[in-house]
Amino acid sequence: MENERDRMDQVFQARRALASRYRLDNPGNRFNFETLCENMGCRLHELWPVPAGKKILDIGAGELYWGDQFVAMGVNKDDYVGVDLLVWRLQKGRASGHDHQAVAASAAELPFESATFDLISQFTMMTSVLDNALKSRIAAEMIRVLKPGGYILWYDFRYSNPSNPDTCGIGRGELKRLFPEQPISLQAITLLPPLARKLGLPLLKFFHACPILRSHYLAWIGPKG
């Protein structure tokens, strides 16, 4: 686990230099972000018309950015908990004003009792885990701490990027392997970011209409039996 922590630390330290690439003042980044939030919010409110009181665990929470988005969707601030392997990422988030509950821990050994959370989310974390056995352990932990009737919200790359050896895409088949006993609802979403960043409306909408150009899956895994 120490080797994995060191590897992840190197990966995310390197990514800090790329932060400007993902700024929301770029029309393509803004389009992808708003499309994701709209789809998330619609499904969340279909499951729980009043999400206040539902407990959420965000794995690989990084700088706790998604805590703000869940609160905007009606989740109580005190019901959100972020977990990340790297304590400096959580500290950076707090320093940036994302004042949410957070725990520095491995997603493969979550420090919570079984059946604690109504929703468990992960945003582009699992594709940074390259070891299949470790991915399986993380998936098992997600199921363990999820309440019966609860869901996993999954947003991650479905394609591998040949120029980025630190990530590996996760497709439909691997999702079924990781969560073999759970129903999985998949939606291809997010226009390929390198393409999206070069476009403006209405070309963003035009190209997003082509499913093969959508690089991520938004999946709802559950309800847990």
Rounded Cα distance between 108 and 101, Å, is 19
Confidence bin at 162 (pLDDT 50/70/90): confident
Strands of the chain, DSSP E: 56-59, 80-84, 101-104, 117-123, 146-157, 184-191, 214-221
pTM score, whole prediction: 0.95
Average pLDDT, the chain: 95
pLDDT, tens digit, 9 for 90 and up, residues 103-137 = 999 999 999 999 999 999 999 999 999 999 999 99
- Residue 139 burial by Cβ neighbours in a 10 Å radius (0-12, 13-18, 19+): buried
Q: Give residue 112's region: left, alpha or beta (phi > 0; psi -120 to 50).
A: beta
Type of residue found at 103: V
Using the 8-state DSSP alphabet, how is residue 85 labeled?
S
Domains, in order of start, for the chain: 2-221 (3.40.50.150)
Instruction: State the pLDDT confidence band at 1, using cuts at 50, 70 and 90.
Output: low
Quick check: 63 pLDDT over 80?
A: yes
Residue with tokens 């999400």: 51
The better pLDDT of the pair 9, 219 is held by 219
> What pLDDT sits at residue 50?
96
